[in-house]
Amino acid sequence: MKNKRFRIEDSLGVSYVPAEAAVVPPSTANDDRISEILATVNELKRLTQSTTGDVIDACRREMAEIYGMRTELDVMKAAIGRTKHEIAVLHRQDFDGKGVRRAAGELDAVVEATERATTTILAAVEDIETHASVLRSTGGLKDHSDVEAILERTVVLYEACNFQDLTGQRISKIVSVLKFVEDHIDRMIDAWGGLDAFKDLIGERAGSVSIDDESSLLNGPKLDEDPGHVDQTDIDALFD
């Protein structure tokens, strides 16, 4: 069937195209191109999904390691905090006059007391030797003053020997301070994981030392620079 050409088409100069020529058959080349594009897209999608899964797994492993490191850092922080606390306790004891400095002062006092007592004992012994020599040279006890002098020097010797009791108390205080330091060192070792964490640094495990709970009540004698110090003169005055 031939299509009729209208007058308006002639006036506008529109070319005539038969209806049969307007029908375009489907292109096989275009279909192949579209199929190739779709296949490429599907392959990219598959590769993307596979790569994304590997990346997610790697990120999860990294996060697990990071959380593990954070846990270790928290443990280290807590150990450092406990160690700082124990060191602060030691420092506070030293500041309150009960620490290592006090122990050093007690040792100095022991040395001074021993020196004074030794000097007194030697002087008394020399006097006894002198008066005994006089008695021997006179051949009798005509003058009892020498005997009285010997007895007096004997009393002085007894008094001088009291230094042993005082120095013993001071040494006991020093031992208490050393036990205190040892106890807090043990706590610092426990804060770092116990003695097993130091097995490469120490030879053998030290035995635990029990601390007397009443040791803080045994103050012992005061040092010369301590306030409220009472010497032997003040004690003798109580009996006068």
Residues 103 and 95: their CA atoms lie apart, in Å, by: 12
- pLDDT tens, position by position, 123-174: 888 888 888 777 777 766 566 677 778 778 888 887 777 777 777 777 777 7
Predicted local distance difference test score (pLDDT) of residue 208: 45
Give the mean pLDDT per block of 10 residues along the chain (240 residues): 57 53 55 79 76 78 85 84 71 62 76 83 84 74 70 80 76 78 76 67 45 52 60 67
Please give the full DSSP string across 128-192, using - where no structure is assigned: HHHHHHHHHHHTS-S-THHHHHHHHHHHHHHHHTTHHHHHHHHHHHHHHHHHHHHHHHHHHHHHT
Which pLDDT score is estimated for 22?
A: 46
Q: What pLDDT is attached to residue 139?
A: 65
**How confident is the model at residue 149, as a pLDDT?**
80
Residue 159: per-residue pLDDT: 79
Question: In this predicted structure, what is the pLDDT of residue 211?
Answer: 47
pLDDT of residue 24: 47
Q: Give me the pLDDT at residue 225, please.
A: 58
Q: Sign of torsion, CA 210 211 213 214?
A: positive
The answer to whether 194 and 85 have CB atoms below 8 angstroms apart is no
Which of 176, 187, 28 is closest to 103 using CA atoms?
A: 176
pLDDT of residue 214: 53
Q: How far apart, in whole angstroms, are the C-alpha atoms of residue 47 and residue 54?
A: 11
pLDDT of residue 226: 60
Predicted pLDDT of residue 16:
53
Whole-angstrom distance, CA of residue 233 vs CA of residue 68: 70
pLDDT at 209: 42
Q: Which pLDDT score, from 0 to 100, does residue 206 have?
A: 41
Q: What is the structure's pLDDT at 143? A: 64
What is the per-residue pLDDT for 21?
A: 46
Instruction: Give pTM, 2 decimals.
Output: 0.41
Tokens of 192: 């770092």
pLDDT number for residue 207: 44
Amino acid letter, 196: D
According to the model, what pLDDT value does residue 122 have? 83
Spatial neighbors of 160 by CB under 8 A, at least 6 apart, are: 117, 120, 121, 124
Among 224, 229, 208, 216, residue whose Cα is nearest residue 176: 216
